[in-house]
Structure 1
């Protein structure tokens, strides 16, 4: 006749005074594992208490248990199911006790609310970084001209520009005086523009009517000189007309009916086909009707816009005009090439 194995002192495997992270308001499950002896003993009990009170007193709690033999040893597993974690379950001892006829052992668990501060901090940091980038990008777009000009001023002292073989920073193309409007253009091109760009900022300009020599072959001089320039500045006014009226640009170029048209076609051809010459459009005296100008000018206007220079008059407020023209000169310098430090120091 087989005898029952003698009772032994139980051993609690888990929990051993542990801390479990839970989400308030959500479901949770706690496990208790114990060695109960060599065989299942009817006197062996496993139960849970919450802060000294029986788990059955809480409707959110439900216990289940089972005993499993494993290599001549018996282990007990008790599961405490919490349907909804309330704050009253937090930071109080939830004790699992295993009791036999020999002894009792227990271990407890503390529930702690999950700390989302790191997650919230990372989200806040990402939002702050995104907002900062957005603000900086907006600020850069708004102050782009000032930033680029300041960068050029600083970089002159720390870097050297490799020579590109160009003699002039800009070729100035404008309609020579025969009307009141073209006379205003000539004043701007021959006096105001060089006063600001050459004398104040050290740029080197080639201006037809000032720098060309009498008797030169106009087409050859225009072509060779323009290829020695870094920018083509085209000055337009509301009275500007196509150099060839109803003719195509090709016919106008072949006929060479206008110095202005030839200058513009050579420069725009290089700008559009060779990417070697950047065109800067300057409007003076009011809006320009591009429908009566060569298609290439219309394309450049649509692609990059035009700078507008306002002449102070009795009908305009002086402060507004000064502010507008101050922005005009900043934008023009922005579109002009950067000056090397050596040339800039000669005007200081």
Structure 2
């Protein structure tokens, strides 16, 4: 007959070796439960060890009881641990005769805010980098997009890209003639019309201004101290601004940084209040550099340039094939020899008198009789093309209807 304790006990809890990750300061109870068959003649005593070192016998709470069929006995040993130091963690083993149960306790990583703080700082740094790139490259991106996908203002009957209004003061004259005009015309290829006279002498646009503005796509005003001393700027700038907005879309006003912050003028206040309807550009100390933001903002306010291969001239005008007599300053329209270019006026200076002040243009004289020995086809080639009213209706000159009324009123 076998001895009463010859059969080793069976470990019920834990079923397998356990690995627990616990935070520092945690209290944990390790439960080791075994059973064996037999009567009360066989007794087992549990023992605990940590990292191979035996713990005292009173470190655990033990309890023994019989199964309901009274043929099996059960033993439960509970080890209470308070993990307050790193040395409290380790490998704990429960020994009951030849049966063992192992518990491996590891310290869990402290769940803190360091990763979240680092992630927030990284996102903030990326946002600041994007904001810096936007501020630094915004104008370049806008210029690239406008030059590639922007609308081309062609076939509109305009001969100049901008009408530049300034005073005859020495500083304004030098700025326009030696800085603004060379930069826009030579470097960017724009075509300017310069005017040193007041554009609103009586707060009302003159006939000459209406006629000239009808041939320009934009208006540039060099708003210097001398310009602000004009009567219409001091007394009726608000009304004059609305008159200019009727003649051109989004006029461009250039002010100077050294005097802009010191000037307490009503015109400056009105321009600040109407930034959505006008373009207010600030000339600073570093704006002389061609790559400065001033020139980029000015190019964005001006129309998109169109460059075509061929002879020198305004490509917008050459695309039209313009032969409208209203754009030709010579009264003998039929005489092609008096025209500088067979495709139309390329931007000759207007006469000082307005369109309505002088006598009407002389009518074309009938062609002389052909000389003896001259063939009829040669005479037909020498004559200019006949002007038809239908030709004027086929062109889009709605932007210059005021100019048409001035020219066609007394003819």
Range class of TM-score, shorter chain: 0.5 to 0.7
8 Å CA contact 1:47–1:96 kept in 2: the answer is yes
The residue aligned with 2:340 is none
SS of the counterpart of 2:255?
strand
TM-score (normalizing by structure 1)? 0.60
1:258 alignment partner in structure 2: none
SS of residue paired to 1:343 = coil
8 Å contact kept, 1:12–1:107 = no
Q: How does 1:1-348 map to 2 (within 5 A)?
A: 9-14=9-14, 16-23=16-23, 25-36=24-35, 43=43, 45-56=45-56, 63-64=60-61, 78-90=77-89, 92-97=90-95, 99=96, 103-115=97-109, 123-138=117-132, 140-141=134-135, 144=136, 147-151=137-141, 159-163=148-152, 171-177=162-168, 182-208=169-195, 217-218=207-208, 220-221=210-211, 224=214, 228-229=217-218, 232-239=219-226, 240-241=228-229, 243-244=231-232, 247-249=235-237, 253=239, 262=240, 264-267=241-244, 277=250, 279-283=252-256, 286-287=259-260, 289-293=263-267, 295-299=269-273, 306-309=281-284, 323=286, 325-326=288-289, 329-337=292-300, 343=307
Alignment deviations for residues 252-281 of structure 1 (CA, whole Å, 9 cap, x no partner): x3xxxxxxxx4x44456799xxxx626443
Deviation of 1:190 (Å): 4.2
Give the superposition deviation at 1:200: 0.6
C-alpha change, 1:149 and 1:305, in structure 2 (3 Å) is closer
CA distance in 1, matches of 2:273, 2:45: 91
Unaligned runs of 5+ residues in structure 2 are 1-6, 200-205, 313-411
SS of 1:293 mapped into structure 2: helix
Q: Which residue of 1 aligns with 2:361?
A: none
Give ranges in structure 1 of 5+ residues lacking alignment: 1-6, 254-261, 311-322
Aligned residue for 2:317? none
Who wins on radius of gyration, i.e. which is larger? Answer: 2
Cα deviation for residue 38 of structure 1 reads 7.8
Instruction: Tell whether the 8 Å contact from 1:69 to 1:75 is kept in structure 2 after alignment.
Output: yes
SS at match of 2:174: helix
Structure 2 match to 1:4: none
Q: Deviations over 1:59-107 (max 9, x none)?
A: xxx64566799997887665443323422234x321133x3xxx54212
SS at match of 1:192: helix
> 1: CA distance between counterparts of 2:185 and 2:215?
18
Normalising by structure 2, what TM-score?
A: 0.52
Residues matched between the structures, number: 291
Aligned to 2:324: none
CA–CA distance in 2 between the matches of 1:341 and 1:171? 12
Query: Cα–Cα, structure 1 residues 188 and 117, in superposed 2: closer, same or farther, change >3 Å?
Result: same
> What displacement does 1:170 show?
6.1
Please tell me whether the aligned partners of residues 163 and 195 of structure 2 are also in contact (alpha carbons under 8 angstroms). yes
Counterparts of 2:39 and 2:305, CA distance in 1? 94
Distance of aligned partners of 1:243 and 1:110 in 2 relative to their CA distance in 1, 3 Å threshold: farther
The 3-state SS of whatever aligns with 1:134 is: helix
